């Protein structure tokens, strides 16, 4: 038996070729449909076989239903000879080399038609051959040249275009338009229409949830970043699993300690492991989206979030900024309660880039990826617990200027202050980012959870109306413990020195009845800023032990940032909630 292996690359280039939200959603849907369904059908039609050598053609129940194929379990996949179909990898088993080569020819045509811009390579080898003998050959894709004589696509800005047609919402016929659209953009538009406007029976485990389709059936449209963000700022959330490669190796060694398993057996283990991670992340994301946004969805208004990418252990989504941290916490809490195949929970590194929707998406995405990497560094630096699983971490950046390059470089430039105090050289670290979302010891609250507890209390201490609709704006009208101008003045004093910040905080706290706080908030305050029983309780900066004797750090700036996020908004335009990008 022979294995045909396809490796797709430059997937993100394809997904984000256009900066329009509608195009990203359509590209993601088309990608999932191609890799999870079209290639599966092509392999089965070319007589792919199970590891036992039996062929299983598509039955009448699955021939016309893409949902059934998309939801196949690992057992069903292997019974049809499909060893893997996620993460840009596709493996199929064939009884002989000729059928494998025939499949590659068909797959080449499918990728050429559906996924232009993606690079791909393939290998065909015997199932029991050593991996060192697997030779890959690149697939060549041809696209119409972008010559001046050809019109450029007016929707994506890429590719030679032709005059387009458009399907009206209440009409099944295509009507000609005056716009010039490339062939791939036209395919994306049609796939977007079929997937979301008609809510057909297609749910790719890589990008959508049932709740999202329910909202689409209720005519809650998906338009652009402007409508999605509303009067809020836009948050781009990038998440990636921690140490998944090492965890898989440990899982594989546990299943095959003598390393005698065949390639197919190892592939079964890989599919079981990463499939469990994918299902856990999908379930956690769906649950978190439901809990976070269900009550703030408005009739006939654009969704306040959208998933752009959901794979085995990575996630990319956009949402309104005020709900971003709550959403991340909800995802991670759900993950910690549901272990994957190695009997340990999936832990993630999260990066949140918050800015106006007018900032180019590729810059926001780059920023979120850099923050994601920063959270990973924190996770790796932690003392490994007994199970060897790194804790989840979170980093974020709020961008209020018109441009940002490297968020970590910006932080080093503005969040580290050095000055001389009498005979001492003082170093102030004005942030404690990134933060752990969970401690190695389950009985103690994580640093970010403590900060979030304080932010909620200081934003809305009395929780005056528990029945108010989240996101309605009423919660922002509650009187906070600290006036906003006092907090902003305190935040501005942080770079000016430790003594001035101490003085301002003590003046503010004179009117602050700490004894009226709940036990949870009191405990969080003590862990962040010290004991409340003496004047030293409000010492702003905590002395660190792993630096020189006069280096101090504080979470206060991060706390004020979380509080201010609830007030951060941009100016509305008159047609903001009604405009749509119809192509």
In the structure, how many helices (H) and strands (E) does the chain have? 20, 18
Residue 469 has pLDDT above 60, yes or no: no
Contact between 400 and 354 (Cβ < 8 Å)? no
Question: Which segment, 8-22, 58-72, 244-258, 294-308, is predicted with the most confidence on average?
Answer: 244-258
Domain limit, last residue, from 138, 157, 173: 138
- pLDDT value of position 365: 92
- DSSP 8-state class, residue 351: E
Whether residue 369 is found in the same domain as residue 433: no
Cis preceding-peptide flag for 106 (omega within 30 of 0): no
- pLDDT value of position 20: 78
Identify whether 160 is part of a domain: no
- pLDDT value of position 354: 95
Identify whether 173 is part of a domain: no
Contact between 322 and 471 (Cβ < 8 Å)? yes
| Residue 476 φ/ψ, nearest 5 degrees | -75, -15
Q: How far apart are CA 99 and CA 2, in angstroms?
A: 9
Tokens of 82: 């499909």
Domain limit, last residue, from 84, 113, 138: 138
DSSP string over 248-297: HHHHHHHH-TT----HHHHHHHHHHHHHHHHHHHHHHHHHHHHHHHGGG-
Q: Which residue is associated with the tokens 């003082």?
A: 426
* 195, 232, 337 from 571: Cα distances, Å: 33, 9, 40
Element (H, E) at 213: helix 210-217
E strand map for 489-545:
542-543
Whether residue 70 is found in the same domain as residue 112: yes
Q: How far apart are CA 81 and CA 396, in angstroms?
A: 43
Confidence label for 164 from pLDDT (cuts 50, 70 and 90): low
Angle at which helices 556-565 and 484-493 cross, to 10°:
140
Identify whether 7 is part of a domain: yes
The predicted model gives 88-111 an average pLDDT of 92
Range of the domain at 524: 415-571
Whether residue 345 is found in the same domain as residue 451: no
Domain count of the fold of the chain: 3
- pLDDT value of position 538: 43
Please give the residue that has the higher pLDDT: either 90 or 424: 90
Whether residue 382 is found in the same domain as residue 247: yes
When mean pLDDT is compared across 7-11, 278-282, 359-363, 501-505, the lowest value belongs to 501-505
Q: What is the CATH number of the domain that holds 80?
A: 3.30.70
Identify whether 336 is part of a domain: yes
The predicted model gives 134-155 an average pLDDT of 74
| Residue 500 φ/ψ, nearest 5 degrees | -65, -40
When mean pLDDT is compared across 418-427, 485-494, 503-512, 542-551, the lowest value belongs to 542-551
Whether residue 350 is found in the same domain as residue 426: no
Residue 108 has pLDDT above 80, yes or no: yes
Identify whether 190 is part of a domain: no
Rg (CA), the chain: 27
The predicted model gives 98-125 an average pLDDT of 90
Whether residue 400 is found in the same domain as residue 322: yes
The predicted model gives 92-103 an average pLDDT of 93
Confidence label for 209 from pLDDT (cuts 50, 70 and 90): very low
Q: Which residue is associated with the tokens 């941009």?
A: 570
Whether residue 364 is found in the same domain as residue 462: no
* 26, 32, 156, 185, 225 from 23: Cα distances, Å: 5, 14, 8, 8, 11
The pTM assigned to this predicted structure is 0.82
Identify whether 241 is part of a domain: yes
When mean pLDDT is compared across 239-243, 268-272, 468-472, the lowest value belongs to 468-472
Contact between 382 and 440 (Cβ < 8 Å)? yes
Residues 400-434 have pLDDT tens digits of 888 888 899 989 888 888 888 788 787 888 888 99
Q: Are strands 424-429 and 348-355 parallel, antiparallel or unpaired?
A: unpaired
The predicted model gives 87-91 an average pLDDT of 87
Contacts of 331-339 spanning 24+ positions with Cβ under 8 A: 331/239, 331/281, 331/284, 331/285, 331/288, 332/284, 332/392, 332/437, 332/438, 334/283, 334/284, 334/287, 334/288, 335/280, 335/281, 335/284, 335/392, 336/392, 336/438, 338/280, 338/283, 338/284
The predicted model gives 327-350 an average pLDDT of 93
When mean pLDDT is compared across 11-25, 169-183, 399-413, 566-580, the lowest value belongs to 566-580
Domain limit, last residue, from 92, 108, 138: 138
Residues β-bridged to residue 350:
239, 394
Whether residue 450 is found in the same domain as residue 348: no
Contact between 33 and 111 (Cβ < 8 Å)? no
Please tell me whether residue 5 adopts helix, strand or coil conformation: strand
| Residue 115 φ/ψ, nearest 5 degrees | -125, 60
Q: How far apart are CA 452 and CA 87, in angstroms?
A: 34
Residue 253 has pLDDT above 60, yes or no: yes
Closest CA to 9 of 175, 141, 98: 141
Residues 213-235 have pLDDT tens digits of 554 444 445 557 877 888 889 99
Identify whether 307 is part of a domain: yes
Q: What is the CATH number of the domain that holds 284?
A: 3.30.70.270
- DSSP 8-state class, residue 139: P
Identify whether 551 is part of a domain: yes
Whether residue 375 is found in the same domain as residue 430: no
**Start-to-end CA span in the chain (Å):** 48
Sign of CA dihedral 474, 475, 479, 484: negative
Whether residue 403 is found in the same domain as residue 470: no
Whether residue 389 is found in the same domain as residue 322: yes
Q: How far apart are CA 126 and CA 134, in angstroms?
A: 9
DSSP string over 69-103: HHT--HHHHHHTTEEE-STTEEEEEESSHHHHHHH
Q: How far apart are CA 402 and CA 19, in angstroms?
A: 17
Q: Look at the chain and count its residues.
A: 583
Residue 166 has pLDDT above 80, yes or no: no
Whether residue 352 is found in the same domain as residue 214: yes
Look over the chain and give the mean of its residue pLDDT values, rounded to a whole number: 77
Please tell me whether residue 352 adopts helix, strand or coil conformation: strand
């Amino acid at each position: 038996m022979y294995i045909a292996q396809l490796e797709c690359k430059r997937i993100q280039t394809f997904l984000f070729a256009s900066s329009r939200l509608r195009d990203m959603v359509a590209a993601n849907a088309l990608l999932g449909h191609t890799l999870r369904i079209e290639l599966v059908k092509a392999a089965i039609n070319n007589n792919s076989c199970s590891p036992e050598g039996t062929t299983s053609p598509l039955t009448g129940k699955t021939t016309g239903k893409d949902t059934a194929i998309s939801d196949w379990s690992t057992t069903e996949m292997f019974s049809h000879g499909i060893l893997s179909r996620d993460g840009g990898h596709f493996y199929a088993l064939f009884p002989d080399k000729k059928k494998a080569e025939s499949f590659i020819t068909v797959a080449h045509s499918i990728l050429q038609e559906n996924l232009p811009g993606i690079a791909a390579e393939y290998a065909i080898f015997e199932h029991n051959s050593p991996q060192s003998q697997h030779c890959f050959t690149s697939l060549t894709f041809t696209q119409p040249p972008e010559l001046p004589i050809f019109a450029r696509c007016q929707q994506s800005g890429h590719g030679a275009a032709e005059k387009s047609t458009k399907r009206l919402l209440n009409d099944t016929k295509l009507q000609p338009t005056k716009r010039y659209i490339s062939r791939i953009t036209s395919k994306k538009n049609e796939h977007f229409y079929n997937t979301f406007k008609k809510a057909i029976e297609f749910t790719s485990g890589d990008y959508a949830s049932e709740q999202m389709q329910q909202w689409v059936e209720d005519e809650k449209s998906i338009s652009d970043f402007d409508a999605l963000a509303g009067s809020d700022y836009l948050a781009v959330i990038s998440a990636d699993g921690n140490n998944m490669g090492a965890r898989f190796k440990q899982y594989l060694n546990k299943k095959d300690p003598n390393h005698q398993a065949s390639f197919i057996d190892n592939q079964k283990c890989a599919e079981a492991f990463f499939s469990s991670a994918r299902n856990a992340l999908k379930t956690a994301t769906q649950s978190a989206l439901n809990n976070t946004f269900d009550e703030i969805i408005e009739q006939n208004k654009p969704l306040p979030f959208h998933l752009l990418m959901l794979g085995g252990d990575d996630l990319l989504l956009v949402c309104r900024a005020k709900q971003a941290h709550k959403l991340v916490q909800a995802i991670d809490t759900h993950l910690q309660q549901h272990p994957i195949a190695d009997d340990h929970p999936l832990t993630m590194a999260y990066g949140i880039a918050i800015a106006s929707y007018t900032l180019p998406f590729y810059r926001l995405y780059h920023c979120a990826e850099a923050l994601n990497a920063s959270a990973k560094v924190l996770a790796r630096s932690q003392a490994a617990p007994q199970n060897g699983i790194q804790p989840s971490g979170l980093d974020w950046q709020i961008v209020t200027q018109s441009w940002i390059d490297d968020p970590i470089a910006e932080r080093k430039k503005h969040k580290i202050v050095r000055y001389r105090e009498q005979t001492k050289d003082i170093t102030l670290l004005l942030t404690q980012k990134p933060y752990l979302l969970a401690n190695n010891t389950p009985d103690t609250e994580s640093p970010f959870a403590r900060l979030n507890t304080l932010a909620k209390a200081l934003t809305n201490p009395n929780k005056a109306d528990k029945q108010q609709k989240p996101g309605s704006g009423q919660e922002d009208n509650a009187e906070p413990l600290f006036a906003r101008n006092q907090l902003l003045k305190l935040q501005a004093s942080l770079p000016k020195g430790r003594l001035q910040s101490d003085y301002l905080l003590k003046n503010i706290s004179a009117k602050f009845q700490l004894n009226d706080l709940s036990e949870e908030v009191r405990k969080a305050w003590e862990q962040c800023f010290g004991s409340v029983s003496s004047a030293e309780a409000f010492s702003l900066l905590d002395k660190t032990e792993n630096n020189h004797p006069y280096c101090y750090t504080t979470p206060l700036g991060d706390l004020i940032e979380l509080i201010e996020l609830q007030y951060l908004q941009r100016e509305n335009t008159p047609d903001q909630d009604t405009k749509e990008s119809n192509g």
